[in-house]
Chain A
Amino acid sequence: MTFTPRIGVYVCHCGINIAATVDVGAVTQWAAGLPGVVVSRDYTYMCSDPGQALIQNDIRELGLNRVVVASCSPRMHEPTFRAAVSAVDLNPYCFEMANIREQCSWVHPAAETTTQKAMHLVGSAVAKAALLQPLEQRQAPTTPAALVIGGGIAGMQAALDIADAGFEVTLVERTSSLGGHVGLLHRTFPTLEPTADLLGAIVERATHHERLRVLTEAEVTAVGGFVGNFDVDIRHGHEEEKVKVGAIIVASGFDVFDARRRPELGYGVYPEVITTPEFEQLSQSEVKINGREPKNVVFIQCVGSRDQALGHPYCSRVCCMVTAKQARLVRERLPNARVTVFYMDVRAFGKGFEEFYDATRQAGVLYRRGNPSELIRRGDRVVVRAEDTLLGEPVEVEADLVILAVGMAPRADTDALAGLLKLARSSDGFFMEAHPKLRPVDTAMAGIFLAGACQGPKDITETIAQARAAAATAMIPLMRGEVTVEAATSVVDEELCAGCGQCASICTFGALTLHPTKGVMVSNAVLCQGCGACATACPSGAINVRHFTFDQVMAQINVVSDFRAPVFSAAPAEAEVASPS
């Protein structure tokens, strides 16, 4: 039986996001004339319920067997539309998306050529749609256990939540004790609650939880497998052990910015210059510098934050409040000391933060706007040289204690861990979340989640919130007991494969192996993530990735390369549901 594509094309206005720069009507009309297209429509918001209903109706009434939606990035709404077509019994892999928003309307001015580019993109999606094959999504059972990397407040909280829900958890901590950076703090903002009270209970619970195994002085050395079924190698002291888990939470934390990278601030040279974490230690006992109680204390904000020149362009988010807290503590502990804070902007955005900042100033802390340029020595004191930008004058402030509010930096070993887990990093060097707004705790790797400052600077409140979110998300596959395996995987044509093994050497998922007797490669559809690296490496073109086959991709390229309407040389036979072998 020959297969005739009956394609429906749906062009979205996305409000004015697309419609303001692309002539949506013209694109729709043009698409209607493409071979295989049965219906072509436009609508304000295709992703809305009425928009989806439009598609579903056409599938039922016009007997569509392939659907193309021209709207935003598939990262945004492909799952939405796949679910919509599935609901009316069209295989989700018979759906194709053309991204005419991020790749067209958002990046070009309103012009004839912009509309033409949208047509290119729609045409190429139609060309591919005609060649799409239905694929079967399979399920794989999951291991009901989780691994948490990092024993700071984020890791402990996430581990406890998952263990409380009834799953086995292994928590791996590199140092000899739990607590991380929070363990080094004296008191917390904005309540000035002693950290020991807050952390002690959590450490206590984590250490004695029956379903939580804490491994200190341990580190992950290898990670294999996939969501639901990870195989993790852990080095624990001198022992190596292997654990099987269904989900992994990364809570590896941050490094404190090394203030010596701004040598003009004299950290490491002048004993009077310390960092905010060092002040936390100092403030737990007598506050003395050079054996004397300091009389003039200066705080300097934004050391290693908002600093493009040193590759730390981001705001570290906590330093403003840390400074306010520590300035308050200085006023409490040393009522006779003058306290000056040099700042650029005070960012007191959290609940109760602005009030805390108010209270700090009311306690007699002087805030001066200007970021000090350098510290020099004058006699037995250091002099902070800055410009008070509100006075518009250079100023020199003598001090016997200078506290640098150092920012948070990505851990030096982030790269190594990223390599183990195949995680991406954002431009600031921290681990990258799957979507900054919609998927803040997920990573691009299914089954691996982020918690705490390894994803970006955070205070304790935010860290706890993210840890609990990561725990809740990680438990979804664990509780369901099975995961859907990607169907767009690689497949080896045994006729063309010579068994040279080049594909296996570049596959990062270990999905390709040599068949023991046939002398050809075999792709494991469960391990394969469909990245396609093998397909490009294969010397004889023996490997195709389902849903991105050579023919499908070439059909798309042919359309976009010289903007011709898609050509169907021969109608492809409707395959049975191709099941991953």
Chain B
Amino acid sequence: MLQIEAHPITLQYDLFDCIQCGKCTGGCPMAMKTRLNPRSIILRLLTAGDGFDLEGREELWDCTTCSTCSSRCPKKVNPMETIIGLRGAFVEKGRVHPNVKTALESTFRQGNPLTMPRDQRGAWAKDLGLKEYAEGTEFLYYVGCTPSYDPRAQKVARSLVTLLQKAGIDFGVLGNQENCCGSEVRRLGEQGLFEMMAEENTETYKGLGVKKMLTTSPHCFNVYRNDYPKNGMAVQHYTQVLAGLVEEKRLEFSGKLEKTITYHDPCYLGKHNGIFDEPREVLAAIPGATLVEMDRSRQKSLCCEGGGGRMWLEGTNPSVRLAQMRVKEALEAGAQVLATACPFCLLTLDEAVKHLNAEDRLQVLDIAELAAQAL
């Protein structure tokens, strides 16, 4: 038994607005392969009366928080947030997967969910001679946990640094002082820890006088833009910054990249924040590159299954992987490069390519890497 009160939840998330049209479930990428059915969860909450038993509802952890459900809803209901709220009930009772526990605890103690030591966070850039952020510097480059520690994602951060330096951008980093943004913590349902981190980080940035920030990951970008209390800080995803530099001709590509590229819209950049054009503008500026679109692009982009804490959870049906479907779609589109702009997408898609033995046909690269190659 994991009994919760359903009625307050129905009010908190305006579930009475729901007309049970099924658009959420119809578009849900996880509904294709698991028991997850957002519409049905809403109806169950509405009809539960006082008590609602979460016992056995493991599918709530399948949600990747891609926000397809919320973006399709004609009545402005937000099934994704409702699911995050229900996860909170699991967390409160301590009934979570050991991996989730580890990730949360590591975030609390080490400032990252990857169980990596805090004092190694800035190590990736040791040889780059980056400026430490101080008041008056134009941009704070918020690197993020995965690009700081993961060897594959570190390449993205290094490429991005090259690009920013080439364009003469005045930026600084926080090095070991950088702390996790809390995006995944929030989406794993640990709202309390998230609020604490948000407050702490906001204080730090305020103290440093940060006015403009750019991030590697769309997840960090989203959390600062939409979940943090208003703080007067202008946050941009790096693709927005690059697109601006390309447009102003402050960043020009002298190299050539004779490749057919297809772009995979990360959920947290596209569906969550409506940023579809800027990444494509950067790719289009690369000499020699041919852009092709997959059928599911932009608002219809298929989730890679890396969000919503799913980097630490296999889910209830690991035999079918969306990332592999995505790689097949990229191959069908005739692409040689599957480009993305999110560390999670990069890792999941990369793994899928290996799993499908397609390394000789398809390369997964971040836009920052592609752009740096074309300099």
Bound pair: A and B?
Answer: yes
Q: Which residues of chain B from 1 to 59 have a CB within 8 Å of any chain A CB?
A: 19-28, 31-32, 37, 39-40
Decide: A374 and B21 in contact? CB cutoff 8 A.
no
A392 contacts B40, CB within 8 Å?
yes
Q: Is the CB of A306 within 8 A of B74?
A: yes
How far does the Cβ of B14 sit from chain A's closest Cβ, in whole Å? 11
A308:B76 contact, CB within 8 angstroms: yes
Q: Are A344 and B25 in contact (CB under 8 A)?
A: no
Return chain B residues, CB-CB under 8 Å to A394.
Answer: 25-26, 28, 31-32, 37
* Contacting residues, chain B, for A263 (C-beta < 8 A): 298-300
Contact of A389 among B21, B28, B75 (CB under 8 A): B21
| Contact across chains for B74 and A371 when beta carbons are under 8 A apart | yes
Tell yes or no: A307 within 8 A of B by CB: yes
A377 to B329, CA, bound (A): 11
B27 touches A370 (CB 8 A): no
Q: Which residues of B contact A309 (CB under 8 A)?
A: 73-76
With the chains together, A385 CA to B295 CA distance in Å?
A: 14
Measured CA separation A265–B120 after assembly (Å): 47
Counting CB contacts under 8 A, is B118 at the interface? Answer: no
Q: Chain A 365-398 against B: per-residue CB contact (8 Å), 1 yes, 0 no?
A: 0000111111011000000011111001011000
Task: Tell me the nearest residue of chain A to B30, going by C-beta.
Answer: A394
Q: Does A264 contact B (CB under 8 A)?
A: yes
Identify A370's interface contact among B21, B76, B298, B300, CB under 8 A: B21
Residue pair B26, A374 in contact (C-beta under 8 Å): yes
B72 at the interface (CB under 8 A from A): yes
Docked-complex contact B295 and A377, CB < 8 angstroms: yes
A302, CB-defined interface residue at 8 Å: yes
Q: How many interface contacts (CB-CB < 8 Å) are there between A and B?
A: 79
**Most chain B beta-carbon contacts within 10 A, residue among A263, A264, A373:** A373
With contacts A344-B21, A372-B26 known, is A387 near B37, CB below 8 A?
yes
Q: Is B296 an interface residue (CB 8 A)?
A: yes
Contact residues in B for A306 (Cβ distance below 8 Å): 19, 74-75
Q: Is the CB of A308 within 8 A of B75?
A: yes
Asked whether A376 lies within 8 Å of B300 as measured between CB atoms, the reply is yes
Q: What is the minimal beta-carbon distance from B27 to any residue of chain A, in angstroms?
A: 3
Closest to B295 in A: A377
Known A-B contacts A263-B300, A376-B296, A394-B32; A371 and B21 likewise in contact (beta carbons under 8 Å): yes
Q: How large is the interface on B (under 10, 10 to 19, 20 to 34, 35 or more residues)?
A: 20 to 34
Which of these, B26, B39, B40, B74, contacts A307 with CB under 8 Å? B74
Chain B residues, Cβ within 8 Å of A376 = 295-296, 300
Provide the B231-254 mask, 1 if CB < 8 A to any CB of A, else 0: 000000000000000000000000
The interface residues of chain B lying within 8 Å CB-to-CB of A386 are 22-23, 26
Of the candidates B21, B40, B76, the one having the most CB atoms from chain A within 10 angstroms of its own CB is B21
- Complex Cα spacing A389 to B39, Å: 8
- Contact indicator A373/B74 (Cβ below 8 Å): no
> Quick one: given A306-B74, A309-B74, A385-B27, are A371 and B22 in contact (CB under 8 Å)?
yes
Contact B40 A371 (CB under 8 A): no
Nearest B residue to A382 via CB reads B295
Contacts of B296 in A (CB 8 A): 376
Residues of B within 8 A of A302 (CB): 21, 74
C-alpha gap A307/B28 in the complex (Å) = 19
Residues of A in contact, count (CB < 8 Å): 25
Residue contact A373 to B27, C-beta cutoff 8 Å: yes
Output the nearest chain B residue to A394 by Cβ-Cβ distance. Answer: B31
The one of A308, A372, A377, A388 that contacts B23, using a Cβ cutoff of 8 Å: A372
Per-residue contact bits, chain A 354-374, to B (CB 8 Å; 1 contact, 0 not): 000000000000000111111
Residues in chain A near residue B28, CB distance under 8 A: 373, 394
Note all chain B residues with C-beta closer than 8 A to A395: 26
Across the interface, name the chain A residue whose C-beta is closest to B36. A394
Q: Which residues of B contact A392 (CB under 8 A)?
A: 37, 40
Q: B21 to A264, Cβ gap below 8 A?
A: no
**Residues in chain A near residue B22, CB distance under 8 A:** 369-371, 373, 386-389
Taking CB atoms, residues of chain B closer than 8 Å to A385 are 26-27
Q: What CA separation (Å) do A32 and B11 show in the bound complex?
A: 47
CB–CB B26/A370 < 8 A: yes
**Closest B residue to A370 using CB positions:** B22
Q: A264-B72, A308-B75, A370-B21 are in contact. Are A387 and B26 (CB under 8 A)?
A: yes
| Cα-based distance from A369 to B298 in the complex (angstroms) | 27
Q: Are B27 and A374 in contact (CB under 8 A)?
A: yes
The docked-state distance in angstroms from the alpha carbon of A369 to that of B21 is: 8
* Mask: chain A, 295-307; 1 = CB below 8 Å from B; 0 = not: 0000000100011
Instruction: Determine the chain A residues whose CB is within 8 A of the CB of B300 once the complex forms.
Output: 263-264, 374, 376
Residue in chain A with minimal CB distance to B31: A394
By beta carbon, the residue of chain B nearest A263 is B299
Nearest residue (CB) in B for A391 is B22
A45-B375 Cα distance, complex, nearest whole Å: 84
Closest to A305 in B: B74
A371 to B19, CA, bound (A): 10
Interface string of B51-93 (1 = CB under 8 A from A): 0000000000000000010001111100000000000000000
Question: Nearest chain A CB to B166's CB is how many angstroms away?
Answer: 35
Q: Which residues of A contact B24 (CB under 8 A)?
A: 373, 387
Q: Please name the residue on chain B nearest to A343 by beta carbon.
A: B21
Cα(A189)–Cα(B207), bound, Å? 68
Contact with A along B268-309 (1 / 0, CB 8 A): 000000000000000000000000000110111000000000
A377 to B20, CA, bound (A): 26
Are B26 and A373 within 8 A (Cβ)? Answer: yes
Given A387-B37, A387-B39, A389-B25, 17 other A-B contacts at CB below 8 A? A264-B27, A302-B21, A306-B19, A308-B75, A310-B74, A370-B21, A373-B25, A373-B26, A373-B72, A374-B300, A376-B296, A387-B25, A387-B26, A389-B20, A389-B22, A392-B40, A394-B31
The 8 closest A-B CB pairs, nearest first, are A373-B27, A373-B26, A387-B22, A371-B21, A387-B25, A370-B22, A386-B26, A307-B74
Query: 17 pairs across A/B with beta carbons < 8 Å?
Result: A263-B300, A264-B27, A264-B72, A302-B74, A306-B19, A306-B75, A309-B74, A370-B22, A370-B26, A371-B21, A373-B22, A373-B26, A373-B68, A373-B72, A376-B296, A377-B295, A385-B26
